[in-house]
Amino acid sequence: MNYTALFEQIKKKKSFLCVGLDSDIAKIPAHLQQVADPVFEFNKAVIDATAGVTIAYKPNIAFYESRGVEGWQSLEKTVTYIRQQYPEIFLIADAKRGDIGNTSQMYAKAFLETLNFDAITVAPYMGEDSVTPFLQYPEKWVILLALTSNKGAFDFQFREDKGVKLYEAVLRKSQEWGDKQNMMYVVGATKAEMLGGIRDIVPDHFLLVPGVGAQGGSLQEVAKYGMNSHCGLIVNSSRGIIFADKTEQFAVRAGEEARKLQGEMEILLKEKGIL
């Protein structure tokens, strides 16, 4: 999916919501634990309840690969289901990969070709040759970790060299490798106040923003500092939507939580003049 198609989806759905499929098998409602593939059945119900107001899904790969072969099967079935039922939706593998060049090539093939995701999250710290193999796929995206939502972000990402913070150096240097058509950046909603400065460096790129919902980030603050004339934001919520309820009503509640966020997003898009 290209930049224009993504923006068209945002306008059509009046939403820049990404639902995170962090489908921890231990948290899946009891009544689904007996079926053949509880994670897939859970995902399917959440997807059907939220697809109308969602532009992207982001399975976090840890919740699948931790279960071995069965987990990979749940993931593959989930991707196939979304591709068949909701082909307009943008699919992000939150895998946080990146290694020496020939290994990155295999990670890229695994997620962008074999599993057919639209995008993959990549850690930038091994540099150019670890990132560029992911950029060889037309209409696929690298989402580079820039400023993460967690407390540990302060350990390295704010370190300064000649007045430039490490996450700023990531934003600047990586623009030599890709552009707004194939590269996005992760910026945590918990660091929304830094988004103004980030927009000075990457005014046009899409940003994937996790941290709204369970981590307490504010959607309004994210939009205030981070929204550009093409929206430029994909805001993720995982636990706040998929585990809003742990009873047989989980999908209904997931749909309600997703619609609530979409309603707030619609207001923000209108305020910005995008709708």
Ligand X SMILES: O=c1ccn([C@@H]2O[C@H](COP(=O)(O)O)[C@@H](O)[C@H]2O)c(=O)[nH]1
Q: Which residues bind to ligand X, rule: CB under 6 A?
A: 20, 22, 60, 94, 148-150, 186, 188, 210-211, 213-215, 236-240
Beta carbon of residue 24, minimum distance to ligand X (angstroms, whole number): 10
Beta carbon of residue 21, minimum distance to ligand X (angstroms, whole number) = 9
Residue number, 164 or 214, with CB nearest to ligand X:
214
CA distance 206 to 208: 7
Residue 102 Cβ vs ligand X, minimum distance, rounded to whole Å: 26
Give CA angle at 77 (75, 83), nearest 5°: 105
**CA distances in angstroms from 95 to 61, 119, 194, 199, listed in the order given:** 5, 10, 24, 25
Torsion of CA 41, 96, 108, 180, to 10 degrees: 110
3-state secondary structure 171-224: HHHHCCCCCCCCEEEEECHHHHHHHHHHHHHCCCCCEEECCECCCCECHHHHHH
Parallel, antiparallel or unpaired: strands 207-209 and 233-237: parallel
Q: How far is the CB of 138 from ligand X (least distance, A)?
A: 26
Q: 144 vs 274, which CB is nearer to ligand X?
A: 144
> Nearer Cβ to ligand X, position 227 or 241?
241
* Secondary-structure breakdown of the chain: helix, strand, coil percentages, each rounded to the nearest 5: 50, 20, 30
Residue type, 138: P
d(CA 13, CA 229): 17
> What CA–CA distances, in Å, run from 198 to 16, 36, 166, 220?
19, 45, 12, 17
Phi, psi (degrees; rounded to nearest 5) at 94: -85, 85
Nearer to ligand X, 182 or 236 (CB): 236
Catalytic residue numbers, as ranges:
96
| Pick 59 or 274: Cβ nearer ligand X | 59
Q: Residue 59: beta bridge partners?
A: 21
Nearer to ligand X, 4 or 156 (CB): 156
Minimum CB separation of residue 254 from ligand X in Å reads 13
Q: Copy the structure tokens of residue 1.
A: 């999916």
Q: How far is the CB of 148 from ligand X (least distance, A)?
A: 3
